[in-house]
Each structure stands twice: as structure tokens, then as C-alpha cells.
Amino acid sequence: MANLGNPTNTIEILKKYNFNFQKKFGQNFLIDSNVLEHIIDAAEITKDDLVLEIGPGIGTMTQYLAEHAREVVAVEIDETLIPILQDTLSSYDNVTVINDDILKVDLKKLADERNGGRPIKVVANLPYYITTPIIMGLFENEVPLKSITIMIQKEVADRMQAGPGTKDYGALSLAVQFYAKPEVVLQVSPGCFIPKPGVGSSVIRLTRYEEMPIRVQDEKKLFSLIRASFNQRRKTLVNGLGNAGALKTASGKSVPVTKEDVQNALAKMELSPTIRGEALTLEQFARLSELL
Ligand code: SAM
């Protein structure tokens, strides 16, 4: 089967199968071999690796992954792509295609069964409409992970990588950085896809921490605090958290929080009583969550 990482071969396959792009599945297929090679390099795939690909499309990146990895498992929701994948991947015996919604697949079980519970690598040109649930699902469901190397919307990549005091910094930055080190490795223009997406794209690599740098007694409470702190971004923490009134905890119970509680906690941390959430580091949010 011809290499799909160029427009001519991709268009030939799409015509052969009379394929209709489905907007609702975020289908923008890669047609640039330089970008594909860059993604494979950034993911540092070796013959030891089990790679999970989310949304293989017609199998373009899957071909590259199959060449470099020990085994590839590709999960595709669109059943009309399955016969195409059988065709484009027919010369590889190390690829398994699963026709399912990635959000419904038990990925922890998959890593246990196929990789003996050892960390897997995730590589994908993601469907942009479900970027956050996919990534947070991988982290929160404790899927053993080495890294996630993904093409996503540029603005979302910027938010994942942002630090305190910047306009992009928020709940997503903190949620991602709690689990992994983010690095944007490539900017990709709409012309590298068919059809062209209406937004710019970035490839970002999230390297999962082996040892978590931040530890808290109750992660759910920390994330409840972070969300509440950015819900009213322009308000001070004292007002924003005081208005929220409570934080959710892992046990399912809510802890009441008053303005005074927040003032006292900030004083203990030697922070200004008028500070906003966007100025706090992850370490400071962790401390604040333990104090409240
Ligand atoms: N990997 C291909 C490429 O780079 O050319 C296609 C990438 S395209 C941006 C996203 C792919 O994800 C599509 O094939 C789409 O059908 C698939 N997809 C969308 N939602 C999905 C879901 N919930 N579960 C699994 N696959 C999904």
C-alpha cells in the first residue's frame, strides 16, 4: 500500500471509497510527510513501545507508527473508515483497529492486557471537539502513560503550556501540569490537512511525571478549588472563592469556604488578600487547598 502522507495518495483512497468527511467527528486528515515525521520523532517511538492512536482516519499516521513501534492499537469511531483502514494497513501485522468511541474504551485494561501494565505512548491528530475530555480521561483514569504527543488546536496548546500571570493561564494549564510536563514541539498550518481546518494547530508533547512533583491529600478538592478560582477570573480569590461557597472533595462531601477562610489561608501563605487566581502557581494552589 502506498504511503498516505502525501495529497495524491490520500485523494486516491478517498475517491476509491467515495468517502464523505464528517464534520461532527472533527475529520481533518494530515497530508504532509514532514509533519508526520516530526510527530514520530517528537514521540520518540521505539520497537519496545505499544502506541495508542486516537482517530486513525484513513491510517496515514498509523502507517508511520507501525513502522516504528512494536504494536499499535488505533481506536476509530467512524465505521465507514474501517474497511479503508483494513486496506491501507493490510501490509502491517502489528496494528489492531478498534471501532469505538475513545471515551468509552477501558484504556487502563488495554494497557494491562497488551503491555503488561507498563506505560504506553499515545500519539494522535486529535478530533479537536473532544481534546480536553480525552486528555483528562487518560490522566484521571490512571492509564499507565509515558507520553502523549498530539496535534491540537493552537490556542488549546498555548493554554496547556501557559504559566502564572499570562492571559492563557487557567484551569486547563494547571490540570495538565499537575500530571505532565507540556512542550509545544511544532506549529502546523491549515494547508497541511484535507479539508483545511478553520484554526491553526500545534503538536504538543505531554511527558507524564513518573514521580508526581505536587502531592495533595485530595486531588478532587484541589481541582474544585482551581475551577472555582478561575470561574470568576477578574475577581480576587477572596471574593471568587467566597462566592463559590464550597469545594467538592473525593468523598463526595462539600467543604464550606467563606471569604474569611480564604483571607486566613492567604495570610498564612504570606500572599496579598487581593491576589487573583491567575497569579498563583500550582504549588500555591496545592498549599491553599490543604489549608482550606
Ligand atoms: N489520524 C488521521 C490523520 O491524521 O489524518 C485522522 C485525524 S482526524 C483530525 C480525527 C479522527 O478521529 C477522525 O478519523 C475521526 O473520525 C476520529 N474520531 C472522532 N471522534 C472520535 C472518538 N470519539 N473516538 C475515536 N475516534 C474519533
- Tens digits of per-residue pLDDT, 192-245? 999 999 999 999 999 999 999 999 999 999 999 999 999 888 899 999 999 999
Q: How far is the CA of 251 from the centre of ligand 1 (A)?
A: 36
Query: What's the 134 CA to ligand 1 centre distance in angstroms?
Result: 12
pLDDT for position 161 = 97
Decide the pairing of beta strands 120-125 and 95-99: unpaired
Report the pLDDT value the prediction gives residue 234, as an integer from 0 to 100: 86
Q: Ligand 1, residue 27: give the atom nearest the CA.
A: 8
Percentage of residues of the chain with pLDDT beyond 90: 95
**Joined grid coordinates for residue 157:** 496548546
- CA end-to-end span of the chain: 60
Cα angle, residue 59 at apex, residues 55 and 63 outer, rounded to 5°: 120
Q: Which among 286, 276, 284 has a CA at the least distance from the CA of 166?
A: 276
pTM for this entry: 0.95
pLDDT tens column, 159-188: 999 999 999 999 999 999 999 999 999 999
Using CA atoms, how far apart are residues 162 and 173, in angstroms rounded to an integer? 6
Decide if pLDDT at 1 tops 80.
no
Q: Which long-range contacts (CB under 8 A, 24 or more apart) does 62-66 make?
A: 62/88, 62/89, 62/95, 63/1, 63/3, 63/4, 63/5, 63/88, 63/89, 63/92, 64/5, 64/36, 64/37, 64/39, 64/40, 65/40, 65/95, 65/123, 66/92, 66/94, 66/95
Contact 257, 246 (CB under 8 A): yes
Q: Is the CB of 57 under 6 A from ligand 1?
A: yes
Grid cell digits, residue 230: 478561575
pLDDT given at position 6: 82
How much distance in Å is there from the Cα of 213 to the middle of ligand 1? 33
Say yes or no: CB of residue 152 within 6 Å of ligand 1: no
Please give the pLDDT value at position 173: 97
283: burial class by Cβ within 10 Å (0-12, 13-18, 19+)?
exposed
What CA–CA distance (Å, rounded) separates 146 from 168?
Answer: 26
What's the mean pLDDT in 234-263? 94
Residue 19 predicted with pLDDT over 80: yes
Over range 43-47, report the average pLDDT. 97
pLDDT for 2: 67
Distance 193 CA to ligand 1 centre (A): 13
To test the pocket of ligand 1, the residue of 19, 25, 53, 134 to mutate (highest count of ligand atoms within 8 Å of its CB) is 25
The whole-number pLDDT of residue 232 equals 84
Torsion angle of alpha carbons 53, 71, 47, 137, nearest 10°? 40
Instruction: Using pLDDT thresholds of 50, 70 and 90, give the confidence band for residue 3.
Output: confident
H or E element that contains 52? strand 50-54
